[in-house]
Structures are given as C-alpha cells and as structure tokens.
Amino acid sequence: MNTELSNKIKISFKERFKTEPLMIFSPGRINIIGEHTDYNDGFVFPAAVNKGIVAGIQKSEDFESKVYAVDKNEEISFSLYTLKPSAEGSWANYVLGVVSELQNRSKTIGNFNIAFGGDIPGGAGMSSSAALENSVVFGLNELFNLGLSKEEMILISQKAEHNYVGVKCGIMDQYASMFGIENHALLLDCRTVKSKPYKIDFKDYELILINTNVKHSLSDSAYNDRRSVCESIAEMLKVKALRDATEYDLQGIKDKVTPENYQKVLYIIQENDRVIKASKAMEADDLKTLGVLLYASHEGLQNQYKVSCFELDFLVEQAKLNGHVLGARMMGGGFGGCTLNLIAKNESENFKTHVAKVYNEKFGKACSIYSVKLSAGTHLI
C-alpha cells in the first residue's frame, strides 16, 4: 500500500471534518485468467494488488453524511432518509449504493463522513470501483458495529453496483479486493464463492500491466448485454448457468441461436476450461502453457466475446512480437483498461521502452505501465 496516499487522505479528512478517521485500504485486483466467467457461475483467477483505494471514515453529529473524493476535489452530502442514486456515471453512486444496500438489509447506521482517494485510475480494468465499495462497507461495518461477515460485505458491494451504478457485475472484483492474500492469487469458484490460494512466484518471469488509458463508453451496456445473452442461452440449454454447459450441449442448439451468440457462449465454456488448465499449469510450474492460455483467452475475448478494442489488441500484438513474453491478454470487463503480460524479468525494461514508444506513435497518446505486488484484501490501516 502507498503510505504517501494514506497520509494524504488522512490529512484531507482531518482538515475537512476535524476528527480523527478510521483508515482503510481496499485493494484493486488483477486477474490472471477467467474473464466474464464469474457471472456464469464459473472460475476466475484474480489477486488483490498493492494499489487501490484509501478511505478515512468517521461518525458525524451532523444531519447529513458527507463524502469527499480527494483526487477530484469534489464533495457530496446526502440524507440517510432520502437516499437516491446520483447522476449516471457519478463516483457517488458507489458510496450511496452501499448505504442503500445496508438499509435494504435493515442495518442501521448513523451519519458519517468519508474521504477517499486512490492510485489506480478508474477505467484501468483493475476494479477501483469494487475497491471503493468495499472500503465503504468495511468502514461502516466497523464504525457502526454491524456484525457483517466479509461474505456479506462483498454481496452488499456487488448489489450496490447492480442497483446504483447499473452494471450487473459478477462477484470476482469484490471478492478479490476483500479476500486477497499477500503474494497469492485466488482460484475462485464463483458458484460456491470459495477460493483456493496459489502462491505466486514466477521465478525468472513477472507480470506487468500496460494501461491503454482508454475506456470506451459503451462498456457498461455491452457488459449487461453480454450477461443477458449468457443467461438466456443457459435457459435454452436448461442449465442453471453456463458453467454447467459443455461444447457438446451448445452444438445441440446451434441452429436456434445466432452465430454471434453461439461464439459468445462457446467463449465462456472454453474460458472456464482455460482457468482450470491454467491452475494445473501453475501447479506444475509450467509457465509456457500458462502463456499459451493467456493468448488464447485474449483471442476469445477479441473475436468471440467481442469485448476488446484496437488499443488492447495492438498491445497484445506487440507482446506476441517479443519472444520473451510468454503470454498476454486484455484484463477485466474490456473496451479499454489494461493488458496483463507474462514476461521474462530481464527483458521487461526493453519491452516497456519499446511498447511506450510504439503505442505513442500509433495512438498519439501515452500508455501507462505498472508492476504490482499481490496484496492482502480490504483492511484497517
């Protein structure tokens, strides 16, 4: 975690609200493999990282609650009795949505003040939104002794996103952010919501992230559309979720679905399978196979599930041109954000310099390159 950031948030909180806050760090996440499988009850392989959201929170004697977004220098205030979503696209909905879900569960809270800031840009595909939701629910649980388990808290965060933000997300982001373990990735079964930790040590290789610094605007509606295609085809296949379907099952209804939707569902079935294969490859220290699976995942996201974009595809093409990159793929919901690259440590610097140059030449803007450490989940600082 970034101590400079946490000092900044603490100072901002104290200046503005004149009390001592409870401080929380809630991490963002990466995902090694398993994209869009979470809302199909499938498998994913995320890890919390040492970048995320820092929040300061404390009870307030006021008649209203206040939220201060330090990075944006914006404040909102609201009454707990007349809660409603803010304008579409506003950061406030991640906070208001959590409060609303607590109320839906008859959890009583009083007024509070919160100040937050982060070190992952929104739109990076690293779940700054889940990190923010988790920091709020975690902080309110502590402040008002709500007695919520971590399992309950992540469901509250997820519902906040469904109902206030309007994205029908799966559980991966909230889970990884809350349950992360230092130096580990989590093989998560999104049906049972239980995970198996894997110690990550890629020896001569490392993971680096390259942020396209774009977020194409159709992403939320495209996300919800994909989810509803998956659900309706699961229904046609008479299974609870696509996790239960096989390629053979899908073949059986080929003439009843459009070729586009056929490919989307095929992608989900294959990606789910890739997650299991990736976990076995990691158990066997077989990074080559892991790399092949990463490229295959990108290929599916690009051509079958159709959630990639030019910028992401360009970065993955650059990775393929470099013999020291074992695998690369877009990460997260898609339409922008980061690629994840598994690269030989001794080639990393060359690759970074090269990619920064060619990306700039191609798109007339900079990409950002990050190395991350795998970190513990949401916690008090």
Give catalytic residues, as residue numbers. 173
294 part of the interface to ligand GLA, by CB under 6 A: no
39 part of the interface to ligand GLA, by CB under 6 A: yes
Question: Which residue of 49, 172, 301, 326 would you call a contact of ligand GLA, by CB under 6 A?
Answer: 172
38 part of the interface to ligand GLA, by CB under 6 A: yes
Question: Which residue of 169, 187, 250, 369 would you call a contact of ligand GLA, by CB under 6 A?
Answer: 169
Task: Give min distance, CB of 54 to ligand GLA, in A.
Answer: 21
- Interface mask (CB under 6 A) for ligand GLA, residues 311-350, using x and -? ---------------------xx-----------------
Q: Smaller CB distance to ligand GLA: residue 56 or 170? A: 170
**For residue 229, which amino acid is it?**
V
Stretch that binds ligand GLA, among 19-27, 30-38, 104-112, 133-141 (CB under 6 A): 30-38
Stretch that binds ligand GLA, among 55-63, 166-174, 248-256, 284-292 (CB under 6 A): 166-174
Task: Give min distance, CB of 71 to ligand GLA, in A.
Answer: 21
210 part of the interface to ligand GLA, by CB under 6 A: no
Binding region for ligand GLA (CB under 6 A): 35-36, 38-39, 127, 169-170, 172-173, 332-333
